[in-house]
Amino acid sequence: MTFLPRLLPTLFLSVLVAACANGPDTSVAYVERPAELIYADAFATMERGQYQLAAAQFDEVERQHPYSEWARRSMLMAAFANYQANKYDEAVSDARRFISLHPGNRSAPYAYYLIAISYFEQIVDVGRDQQITQQALDALQQVVRRYPESRYATDARLKIDMTRDHLAGKEMDIGRWYLRRNYHLAAVNRFQNVVRDYGTTSHVPEALHRLVEAYVALGLDSEATQVASVLGYNFPGSDWYQNSYNLLTREGIAIEDAVNQRDPSFIERAMQRIFG
């Protein structure tokens, strides 16, 4: 899937600046120095693209000056540097620690957002386990729920749509596998999940058609025609409806007149019976 460019949000960066590469060796020798000097060096290192080293330097601020204002700032900057270095587990850990210690800080919304995008950028193709995808969805929804008016919520809503579509795609992938192997009841469960749980995604028309296929194979003509009616009512010009129509016609199964009459009460009853 396509991801947005990585940019440290302008507001967040300006707050930190105003307040204040991936080399093979990212260890930092202990040399006692003022917190602001360590922080400045870490920030310069990050700007050169040496993100792992920068994260270690930001950690050094905490190590030497754990109760300072600079330590608080460095904690979240270390999270961002780890994120830039693709050290997602470390980024999430740093951001969660920041939230735990400073839940009311004005940078807390960014910490929640950083956790969300750290999961989001690990989403893999639908053929793989989707635990990370679910974690990304949960974290993105938390950003929107906690900070609905923030700039982070705006981007999170876009990513939620992409993540839900991805999860629906996984359900479709499994459902098709079951259908090809004639495990029709298992396939029905997966396609119903798509319609019920991911009803705003792009996969719904195909899920409805696949349900028609599964019900026809099971000899459940009434269920097949009701689902086809729902498909025709909501997606009348789609290829998936045409495929369902052709299938039922070949099988000699009559589609309910509700499709042509556009009878909302029939469609509602059909939805309730099949997906309720």
Per-residue pLDDT of the chain (276 residues; tens, 9 = 90+): 433 345 444 444 444 444 443 444 455 555 677 878 989 999 999 999 999 999 999 999 888 888 888 989 999 999 999 999 999 999 999 999 999 999 999 999 999 999 999 999 998 766 667 889 999 999 999 999 999 999 999 999 999 999 999 999 999 999 999 999 999 999 999 999 999 999 999 999 999 999 999 999 999 998 999 999 899 888 988 999 999 999 999 999 877 544 554 566 666 666 666 666
| pLDDT at 275 (0 to 100) | 64
Q: In this structure, are residues 220 and 189 in contact, taking their beta carbons and an 8 Å threshold?
A: no
Instruction: Please state the pTM of the whole predicted model.
Output: 0.77
In whole angstroms, give the CA distance from residue 276 to residue 272: 4
In whole angstroms, give the CA distance from residue 122 to residue 89: 10
| pLDDT at 194 (0 to 100) | 96
Non-local (6+) Cβ contacts of 170 within 8 A are: 126, 130, 133
What domains are defined for the chain? 10-122 (1.25.40.10), 168-275 (1.25.40.10)
| pLDDT at 27 (0 to 100) | 56
End-to-end CA distance of the chain: 32
In whole angstroms, give the CA distance from residue 67 to residue 51: 24
